[in-house]
Structure 1
Amino acid sequence: MKKNDEQLKTQARNMMSNAQGHLFEELIKTGCVIYSSQERAEINKVPEPFRVTKKLANGQFTGRFTAAAQPDFSGTLKGGTAIHFEAKYTNTDQIKRSVLTDEQMESLEHHRKLGAVTGVCVGIKDNFYFIPWNIWRDMKAIYGRQYLKTEDIEQYRVKFNGAVMFLDYVSERMDGHGQ
């Protein structure tokens, strides 16, 4: 019985984390809509590469992922610069570098080398950050560890007005999304 209780707790935690991750992405998508209406950027959520393998009753189906995922969000900033970024949320006090897969990191690095603005949009509890890819990539060298705490990344905190405004840092000392 005890093992079953632990499994239920783990399942509940996983469901809550999944729901929070989806809410975080919706808050970013709202920011995308605002930036589009301001003609500052056109950025969209990239759909997961997925194929339906079997249709079931009541509109349900089974399926599988067909390729390594691309960055969560992709688009163009006013002036023509591409932007690609991942979105990661945690309810803990820190975010681990390992939340990105090797494929996601390779993709962000590739886009960076081509001149795109790249980064990781992070939600840590009630605060939101846009961490430039080179900072995320090199966090071990910069911070001496493979995770970030909120005090490490305060300079990358972005505005929140009911939407995650990932192009707008709270601190004006940052000059755009320098790479």
Structure 2
Amino acid sequence: MINEKQLKQSWRGKVNNAQGLLFENSIKAACQTYRNRGIAEIDKTPEPFRVTKKHPNGEFTGRFTAPAQPDFQGTLSEGRSIVFEAKYTTTDRMKRDVLTTEQMDVLEYHRKLGALTAVCAGIQDRHYFIPWTRWRDMKLHYGRQYVTQADVEKYRVRFTGAVMFLDYIHPQSN
């Protein structure tokens, strides 16, 4: 029998998944806007997944076939690659370890090759495009392994119904 704590955890997981999907769809909307304006061609990277069994009710069983790639990858109009992860939380802080070691390794590899790398973060009702090196060295910059909205305010981006991750609210000197 499922206890109340398990029900709450299950509910919280479903709510978080739904909010994460909304966040991702808001980023996809920005990608379409940037495509339409000739600013960038950026796509959501599909998960490496294989269906192992189809069930009569339309559901299926599957498994991941490889470590996940960064959430979004593409090219900016001047030819530079862009690679970033998308993470969302309803809490007041975003922990560094929401990225897996594999995700961090891939972002670092792309950074070394010259790509624009970042974490597109949604913290409660605000959105940020945090440069990968800032995220990577969070402990050095903030003295801890998480950030709050106040910490990353300079990386805040416009929200128009779409997370306009290339449109900083505050001018950037990076």
Residues 40-76 of structure 1 show CA distances to partners (whole Å, capped at 9, x for unaligned) of 0000000000011111113221000000011000000
- Secondary structure, counterpart of 2:67 in structure 1: coil
Match of 1:69 in 2: 68
- Secondary structure, counterpart of 1:122 in structure 2: strand
Whole-angstrom CA distance in 1 between matches of 2:118 and 2:167: 14
Q: Which consecutive unaligned segments of at least 5 residues does structure 1 have? A: none
Q: Map of 1:26-45 to 2, 5 A cutoff?
A: 26-45=25-44
Match of 1:11 in 2: 10
Taking only the aligned residue pairs, the percentage that are identical comes to 62
Q: Which consecutive unaligned segments of at least 5 residues does structure 2 have? A: none
Match of 2:159 in 1: 160
Q: Which amino acid aligns with 2:139?
A: K
Whole-angstrom CA distance in 2 between matches of 1:93 and 1:102: 23
Whole-angstrom CA distance in 1 between matches of 2:41 and 2:57: 35
Q: Which 4+ stretches in 1 moved above 4 angstroms?
A: none
Q: Once the 2 structures are TM-superposed, how far is the Cα of residue 137 of structure 1 from its aligned partner? A: 0.1
Moved more, 55-64 or 12-21: 55-64
- The alignment covers a number of residue pairs equal to 174
TM-score, normalising length: structure 1: 0.95
Match of 1:78 in 2: 77
- Secondary structure, counterpart of 2:66 in structure 1: coil
